[in-house]
Chain A
Amino acid sequence: MSRVNIIRKQMSGIKKICLFVLLMLSLSVFFLPVINADESSIEDEWLNDPHNHPDDIRVIYIKAYQFGFDPEIIEVNKGDRVIFRIISEDVTHGFFIDGYTPSPVDQKIVIEPGKIIEIGPITFDKPGKFKIRCSVTCGPLHPFMVGDIKVNPNFTYYSYLVGTLFVGMLTLVYVRRGPENKMLGISLEKEIDLLRVRGIGPILKRILQWRGFHFAVLWPSLLIFAVVIVAGFVGNPVGNKNFSIAVVWILWFALVEFMILLAGRTWCTVCPLPAIGEWIARRRLCGVHNVRKWFALKLKWPKRLNNMWLGALLFLTMSLIIPWLVTRPVVSGLLFVVLIAVGTILYITHPPRNFCRSVCPAGAYIGHDSNASIYSVRARDKSICDKHKAKECIRGSPEGYGCPWKLYPGGHDENTYCGQCYECLKSCPLDNMTVKIRMIGKDLAHMAAKAKNKFDEAWMGFIRFTLGVFYILVFFGPYSWIRDWGNMGVNFGANLASIGLLTPGVEGVVNWFKWAIMVAGVALVAYPAVFYTFSWFSKKVAKTDQPTKHIFLAFSYALIPYIVFIWAAFAVAILLVFWAYPITAFSDPFGWGWNLLGFKFKWDPFIPQSLPYVLASLSIIGMALAINSTYNIARKMLGGHDKAFRATSVMALLHILVAIAFVWVVAG
């Protein structure tokens, strides 16, 4: 791909023409029908701006291609008046600058191949970093066809850099004072018994203890899921017009992130994947069996798989093919069919929820992250549980099943494997189970203290954390080559018909491997190695004789709130930019032009210019929570405040550095 600026400066007209003719001659043998003289002359015309613009106007030449803009990053100065002269290298594209061009609904800028489009003059009066986006569906990765424009001096960036440092230091100063069992000033001991809150509490309690509740929420989600699968196979192959992509990878993906923070594993309450298997195995849709005979094999789940590894690695694998997954409805459809089949079968062979505990990639990350949630299902009074012998929450009672997640609900002190099915609320004869709202990070310290050999949870954290940062770079960054690598080439598998027919080619496969090694390498090796190094330093600085391994594993739990906020940032970006797709998908699920609900929305980002601020702020909050969590963990593990503080200050350095990198990605 020609890098326009360089060519423009270095080649004289004659040289260029000679070279071009030579090239044409040699290539025309292969591409006779494809290349025509028109295009070359368009390129010439494009570069030879005929207008005599006034002196104060800058002309910027942009070439749009699948899936990016050339140049990838444009820098202007505040106050510049700019005319963009744009051509397309391949297919029809669009052009939209966050906060500068009018809404694409009112006035869509279209760049057809073979035509030169001039936009402007635009006066760049707001400093900061803004995204240039394609506004015309142009292929599978169209939604992520993004370039950067920086309006210097980039005050947003500088102030967020200073802000990150300041908040990081402030958090350190705060923990220096030795706050015990607190998170950013809020006590971790305070909990609200949600089911006893006046007004809403009793209503919620009745709903959650109602036997029909689970079924009532499951069938709508199962219905939506069915539409997702059907749309995946028969719907419009353009991802953003297809229900399966728009609803799963935009709406679900984003909402789950907020759900994790505010309502823990609520997704698992409504998840359709194991539902069918559960109904079959229980031989009931809502009620409790009068005889506890299951329609299931009840095979023993292998001990080796009784952890998060499988789910974590599946999550990573899915992330490696995410560029196809989120842009090809068929691929998504296939994935969901496989997931629901495995979920159903495993429930019948290995009941109860071993699939959810150890296999489901979504279950793995949602469970892991929900430890930073403010929401928890807990015993109201643990001392009652201690005295209670029968423990119906484990075994089941005529009103509710025993915990399908193989837990002892009365003893819950972490969210990881609590699928929030609320069976314990029904089965406990003492009405001792409830929902407790608490401050973020309450359980992290004691979880970390028990983490002696839980490498699975630590690595789930590393995978989630690095991918959170990475996704923002890949999907909302200017570097189209990363996207191409992950995508196995520009148009590989662009539509239904070409799946399997179009091979990515050797180069495509090699590139994908580069991408996979890069992503997996950072997630599984590089970042954990850095984390280990910092843990080792913090051990030295704290002068403790705890093994580095323990410190390393324990401190990894401090990442959980950070992860949740980084992913919330990603979710905000998805929603603000793509909100129109999922809403429209309900009206036209297959992308066939239906209008079932009487509304349709065109792509129209909602205040996208606010994204750098929102995203950077969220990461700073995450960082502060991570630093404070590290301190709480250290305090529990290393004993005294002094050691804890010293260990924390080393880890804080890492967290601050990462936050700075993040601010650079979103605002710099």
Chain B
Amino acid sequence: MKNGHEAEKKELFQKVRDVLRDRYWNKLVFGARNTLSKDKVSRPVHDVFEYVYSAWESDLDKRSETAYSGSVFLYSVLKGTGRRFTSDVTEANELHEVGKELASFVWEKLEKSSSGKDVRNGDGTLAEIWYQFSEYLWEEFKSVKFRRMEEEK
């Protein structure tokens, strides 16, 4: 059980990383004036966590809200890259799909916990996952960026 869960988590982490790398990080503007923070790098994931948490807390419908979270993910990416729309339907589909998966993952975690509060700040499951996630994405981002800078040289 524990291992299954870990595997699932790892797979999801990678999926999110891939889509962020292809659709988000490479469109973020590097430069002196844009300080890139951990926060910005994992922003879309953060937004989905936030949204799912409040939707779950408000007793909304899981199916429709996790689907909606896909759009939250997509729009977070669009906003982060300074866009209002995308003209690429594949991009929209991909981001939505991954966002949705992420959201169901989070939702299920919430369902398993007894009350929202402890998940969020207390004993840690969700807070912990979020922490791991952002650390992971930050590391990945740095390596991607590093690789890119190498290539550019």
* Contact (A388, B89) CB under 8 Å given A292-B65, A293-B58, A429-B78: yes
The one of B54, B65, B67, B85 in contact with A390, judged by C-beta atoms closer than 8 angstroms, is B67
- Chain A residues, CB < 8 A from B65: 292
A384 — which chain B residues lie within 8 A by C-beta? 89
A386 nearest CB neighbor, chain B only: B89
Min Cβ gap A202→B in Å is: 13
Q: Does B41 make an interface contact (CB < 8 A)?
A: no
Asked if B74 and A429 make an inter-chain contact with CB atoms under 8 angstroms apart, the answer reads yes
Tell me whether A291 is interfacial, beta carbon within 8 Å.
Answer: yes
Q: Quick check: A397 and B60 within 8 Å, CB to CB?
A: no
* Chain B, Cβ-Cβ closest to A426: B84
In the complex, which residues of chain A have a beta carbon less than 8 angstroms from the beta carbon of B67? 390, 395
Main secondary structure of the interface of A (DSSP, over half): loop
Q: Is the CB of A397 within 8 A of B71?
A: yes
Partner of B71, one of A290, A387, A429: A429
Let me know if A399 is at the binding interface, CB within 8 A: yes
Asked whether, in the complex, the Cβ of B75 is within 8 Å of the Cβ of A397, the reply is yes
Q: Please pick, from A290, A293, A390, A396, the residue contacting B74 in the complex, using a CB distance under 8 A.
A: A390
A389 interface contact, C-beta 8 A: yes
Within 8 A of A (CB), among B39-89: 51, 54-55, 58, 60, 64-65, 67-68, 70-72, 74-75, 78, 84-87, 89
B127 within 8 A of A: no
Q: Is the CB of A389 within 8 A of B97?
A: yes
Which residues of A41-85 are within 8 A (CB) of B?
Answer: none
Tell me if B28 counts as interface (CB < 8 A to partner A).
Answer: no
> Which of B54, B65, B89 neighbours the largest number of chain A CB atoms within 10 Å of its CB?
B89
For A429, list chain B residues within 8 Å (CB). Answer: 71, 74-75, 78, 85-86, 92
Bound state CA distance, A293 and B64, in angstroms? 12
C-alpha spacing A384/B89, complex, angstroms: 7
Report the Cα distance A390→B74, complex, angstroms.
10
A388 (CB) vs chain B CBs: closest residue: B89
Query: Per a CB cutoff under 8 Å, which of B58, B78, B93 touches A291?
Result: B58
A98 contacts partner chain B, Cβ-Cβ < 8 Å: no
Q: Cβ of B96 < 8 Å from any Cβ of A?
A: yes
Residues of B contacting A: mostly: helix
Whether A388 lies near B92 (C-beta < 8 A) is: yes
Chain B proximity mask over A382-419: 1 for CB below 8 Å, otherwise 0: 00100111101001111100000000000000000000
- Given the complex, which residues of B lie within 8 Å of A397, measured CB to CB? 68, 71, 74-75
Instruction: Assess whether A334 is interfacial by the CB under 8 Å rule.
Output: no
Chain B residues whose C-beta falls within 8 Å of the C-beta of A389 in the assembled complex? 93, 96-97
Task: Give A291 to B59 CA distance when docked, in angstroms.
Answer: 11
Instruction: Specify which of B86, B92, B96 lies most central, judged by the most chain A CB atoms within 10 Å of its CB.
Output: B92
A390 / chain B contacts, CB cutoff of 8 Å:
67, 70-71, 74, 92-93, 96
Given A429-B78, A431-B85, check contact A292 B97 (CB 8 Å). no
Question: B85 and A430: CB pair below 8 A?
Answer: yes
A291-B54, A397-B75 known; A430 vs B89 contact (CB < 8 Å) = yes
Interface residues of A in 264-285 (CB under 8 A from B): none
Partner of A388, one of B51, B78, B93: B93
Inter-chain CA distance A428–B90, complex, in Å, is 14
Q: How close is B107's CB to chain A, nearest CB, in angstroms?
A: 14
Complex-state Cα separation, A396 to B71, whole angstroms: 8
Cα-based distance from A430 to B51 in the complex (angstroms): 22
Contacts of B51 in A (CB 8 A): 290-291
Whether the Cβ atoms of A396 and B68 lie closer than 8 Å is: yes
Residues of A within 8 A of B87 (CB): 430-431
Residues in B with CB closer than 8 Å to A290 are: 51, 54
CB neighbours of B86 from chain A (8 A): 429-430
What's the minimum C-beta distance from A480 to chain B, rounded to whole angstroms? 60
Min distance, Cβ B15 to any Cβ of chain A, angstroms: 16
Please measure, in the bound complex, the distance between the C-alpha atom of A392 and the C-alpha atom of B86, giving whole angstroms: 13
Nearest CB to that of A397 among chain B residues?
B71
Beta-carbon contact of B93 and A398 below 8 Å = no
In the complex, residue of chain B having the shortest beta-carbon distance to the beta carbon of A293 = B58
Would you give the shortest CB distance from A611 to chain B, in whole angstroms? 49
Q: Which partner residue on chain A sits nearest B93 by CB separation?
A: A389
How far is the CB of B109 from the nearest CB of chain A, in Å?
18
Residues of A within 8 A of B60 (CB): 291-293
CB-CB nearest in chain B for A396:
B68
Q: Which chain B residues numbered 20 to 50 have a C-beta less than 8 Å away from chain A?
A: none
Is the Cβ of A291 less than 8 Å from the Cβ of B92?
A: no
Quote the shortest CB–CB distance from B43 to chain A (angstroms). Answer: 13
With A291-B55, A292-B55 as contacts: A398 and B89 at CB distance below 8 Å: no
Beta-carbon contact of B72 and A398 below 8 Å: yes
Whole-angstrom distance between the alpha carbons of A424 and B115 in the complex?
A: 36
State the CA gap A396–B85 with chains docked (Å).
14
Minimum Cβ distance to chain B for residue A549 (Å):
39
A388 to B92, CA, bound (A): 8
Decide: B68 and A292 in contact? CB cutoff 8 A.
yes
Closest Cβ–Cβ distance, residue B5 to chain A (whole Å) = 27
Query: Given the complex of chains A and B, what is the CA–CA distance between A327 and B110 in angstroms?
Result: 62
**Chain A residue at minimum C-beta to C-beta distance from B50:** A290
CB of A380, distance to nearest CB on chain B (Å) = 11
* Complexed CA–CA distance, A571 and B97 (Å): 52
Q: Which residues of B contact A (CB under 8 A)?
A: 51, 54-55, 58, 60, 64-65, 67-68, 70-72, 74-75, 78, 84-87, 89-90, 92-93, 96-97
9 A-B pairs closest in CB distance:
A431-B85, A390-B96, A397-B71, A398-B75, A291-B54, A293-B58, A387-B89, A389-B93, A388-B89
Q: A395-B71, A398-B71 are in contact. List 11 more A-B contacts (CB 8 A).
A: A292-B55, A388-B89, A388-B92, A390-B74, A390-B96, A395-B67, A397-B71, A429-B71, A429-B75, A429-B78, A430-B87
Between A and B, 29 residue pairs with Cβ closer than 8 Å are A290-B54, A291-B51, A291-B60, A292-B60, A292-B65, A292-B68, A293-B58, A293-B60, A384-B89, A387-B89, A387-B90, A388-B89, A389-B93, A389-B96, A389-B97, A395-B67, A395-B68, A396-B68, A397-B68, A397-B71, A397-B74, A398-B71, A398-B72, A428-B85, A429-B71, A429-B74, A430-B87, A430-B89, A431-B84
